[in-house]
Amino acid sequence: MSAIAIDHEVDSALTLSQAATGCEFQIRQVEGPACRQLREIGFCEQMRVKKLTGGRNMLCTVCGTRLALSKDLADQIQVVPA
């Protein structure tokens, strides 16, 4: 991957809580106090996630499973458009 492509991916990364509802994303980074728990439920780098609803508690799907996440947890997941 070229340096320009890597820079573009970093620039286009946002948190799952900032991501648009109804869109699919690829997880780039999971970092924060709940990192271990997020990884245990399937939120790990390179996985695809779809944000179904927004708000204080949001619904999303990863690995075909629907999960509810708080905004605090969603803030710890960096995603890029899939």
List the CATH number of the domain containing 76. Answer: 2.30.30.90
pLDDT at 10: 52
Q: What's the number of domains the chain is made of? A: 1
pLDDT at 5 over 50: no
pLDDT at 7: 44
Mean pLDDT of the chain: 86
Q: What is the mean pLDDT of residues 16-30?
A: 95
Q: What is the mean pLDDT of residues 44-48?
A: 93
Instruction: Provide the residue range defining the domain that includes 27.
Output: 3-81
Distance (Å, whole) CA 82 – CA 69:
20
